[in-house]
Chain A
Amino acid sequence: MSLARIWKVLRKDFAMGPRSPFFLYALVLPVVLTVLFQFAFGSLFEPKPRLGIVDAGSSEITAAMESAEGIELTLFDSAEELRRQVEANDLDAGLVLPAGFDEAVRDGSRPPLEFYIGGESYASNRIILTVTALDTIREVEGGSAPVTVEVVSFGEEGLPLTLRLVPVIVFYALVLAGVAVPGSSLVEEKEKGTLMAILVSPVKVSEVLAAKWLLGLVLTFLMAVMTLLLNGAIGPRPFDSVVVVFVASLLTAMLGLLVGVISKDSTMMFGLIKGAGVILFAPVLWYLFPNWPQWIAKLFPLYWIIEPIWQVSVMGEPLSAVWLELGIALAIVAAMLPLIVLLARRMQARMAAR
């Protein structure tokens, strides 16, 4: 096998890449999905409550609200402007603190407080702002809450939905760049007869397959790393994340090669990807629905690469926590190799007999 010849075929494939729709999809889709999910779920499920305050007397309440991390605070000079913005749903709530409000609260004179609530605001935001405002006023008064609240968390605390969707985006990056790109590249060469033209030159079929595999490997690796970076999910140990992504790229590029070798034409390849797509995608569902029995996810081949990415890149586990999964992924790669060699011989004979 000649590395120089592999490189020449690979270089041609990368140069031709931007002229191939699959190559472009592989580059664009993970970015589009990231932006889409961040836009849809990032702001839909995690909007900060928006509060406006008109403070005529430098109240401690304003200072407390300013220091609260979970509230987006805007200060106004006039109550009219505050009211207008609440009515326009630019704010969830508005608070008008007259001069001497803190002193009046401490005196126990129960001063009136104007609190505007936007009718179209989220109920959750209204509740948060109301409870926070009342709690802060009680602190100004010097009183304490009449109950002791014991907080019990369920599920994985602090894991936003956008992170839960990372396996979905990574899956698309892996399947498009790793499976569809090398698979379609090989099938197109077969369909158009250019593969036969290459094979009557000094290039061997094993060298063409190696080039297609490297095409998938490099593209998958870059796209998966970029997807993790875009989603802020590269983990506390970037090197560990790179290792698991590399193993994932090895496996998906090998799957792409298998699809390309098996498929006689584009129609068959699309059929295969569609049919196998369900099996490939299945393990991703367990990250969206973590209460499902985990053992079922392990039946699907891509589980063994999605799980290490999840554990290392998203959950911050070290490589040592996923060595078994990585080992199984590499074993799947090794098992596919002789199968591809066998199928490649049949493919060559079939092409020549065409």
Chain B
Amino acid sequence: MTTPAIKVEGLHFSYGDIEAVKDVSFEVMPGEILGFLGPNGAGKSTTIKVLTGQMPPKSGRAEILGRETGRDDPEIQAQIGVCFEEKNLYLNMSALENLDFFASLYGIRNPDSLGILRRVGLADRAKDRVHSFSKGMRQRMMISRAFINEPKVLFLDEPTDGLDPTTAAQIRTTIKEEADRGAAILLTTHDMNEADQLSDRVAFINEGRIVALDTAENLKLKYGERSVKVRLRDGDGVREERIALDEPGSSARIAELAASPDLMTIHTEEATLEAIFIKLTGRGLE
């Protein structure tokens, strides 16, 4: 049986009197992407900080590759890669110098920094100082830095936040590649589409608690409302009808409308993760 790369059991963390993480438990297997979804202040970043050893848990247990976190353990730190939400790069160093320096901290003697920059499309700017980079380029630098030690566990905190669609798609591709390599990835985001596209499983976190954890498909099946939208001609105009598939008599009604000469279009409708999140928590993600 494969050991989970990340294992969290009953994790609690509080800032003074404010409880930021309450009894959080989950596992991420090697090669799996777990989308950690929640609005700002839900406890996503705090959970990552505890898991990456920045803060010790107040109670509960968190393990990375079978070793307990929060003990300033270089063995764990050597196996993880972190992409922070804050673009904390050395702006006065070139892209290459940034990667080479961090590679040296992991004891990597001949890092393929240029190869990593090539993966994120920054090879032609390798020798330029980072302060001359655009926001998207800096974000790509952040991703490439998280990859420098070929980590077994990756923590990606809002990796595509505020990026243009092309850059975001490029970054999603590289994240997928890392998972295919075997890295366990904990991806925090409040972009439901991104979570849907990338994640093998999704955890909804709200006010410090995980309120749902499953594959996106299962969450949709479990909490979503399946329906069919039918458009029909109505004299000179158009009329729409939505039929909930789980309601009794829905099949007969669909068959009836399908046979109608006024039928224009018929579409199945799938619940979005955002709609499910709202249904479960009573609040949106923004």
Residues of A within 8 A of B (CB): 2, 4-5, 8-9, 12, 16, 19, 192-194, 196-204, 348-349, 351-353
Contact = CB atoms under 8 A, between A and B. Distances in A.
B78 interface: yes
A19 B92 contact: yes
A41 B91 CA distance: 43
Contacts of A192: 88, 90-91
Instruction: Please provide the 3 A-B residue pairs with the shortest distance between their CB atoms, ordered closest to farther.
Output: A193-B88, A202-B74, A352-B54
Contacts of A196: 54, 84, 88
A194 B87 CA distance: 9
A193 B92 CA distance: 14
A8 B105 contact: yes
B55 A202 contact: no
Given A5-B105, A16-B93, A200 B52 contact: yes
Given A352-B49, A352-B54, A353-B55, A201 B77 contact: yes
Contact of A194 (B52, B77, B89): B89
Given A202-B78, A202-B107, 9 more contacts: A9-B105, A12-B101, A192-B88, A194-B90, A201-B102, A201-B105, A201-B149, A348-B54, A349-B55
A118 B78 CA distance: 79
A353 B88 CA distance: 16
Interface in B78-104: 78, 80, 82, 84, 86-93, 101-102, 104
Nearest to B101: A12
Contacts of B101: 8, 12
B145 interface: yes
Contacts of A194: 88-90
10 contacts: A194-B90, A196-B54, A197-B82, A197-B84, A199-B53, A202-B77, A203-B74, A203-B77, A204-B74, A351-B54
B77 A16 contact: no
Contacts of A349: 55
Interface in B90-128: 90-93, 101-102, 104-107
Contacts of B78: 201-202
Nearest to B87: A193
A30 B185 CA distance: 52
A265 to B, nearest CB: 15
B177 interface: no
B241 interface: no
B72 interface: yes
Contacts of B102: 197, 201
Interface in B141-174: 145, 149
Contacts of B107: 4, 202
B77 A200 contact: yes
Contacts of B145: 197
A9 B145 CA distance: 16
A203 B73 CA distance: 9
Contact of A16 (B49, B75, B90, B149): B90
A202 B62 CA distance: 18
Contacts of B52: 200
B175 to A, nearest CB: 18
A202 B106 contact: yes
A19 B91 CA distance: 11
Contacts of B74: 2, 202-204
Nearest to B53: A200
Nearest to A348: B54
A9 B82 CA distance: 19
Given A8-B101, A16-B93, A193 B106 contact: no
A349 B70 CA distance: 12
A354 to B, nearest CB: 9
A9 B84 CA distance: 20
B190 to A, nearest CB: 19
A204 B72 contact: yes
A348 B91 CA distance: 22
A201 B145 CA distance: 11
B86 A203 contact: no
A211 to B, nearest CB: 11
A12 B104 CA distance: 10
Name which of A2, A5, A353 has the most chain B CB atoms within 10 A of its CB: A353
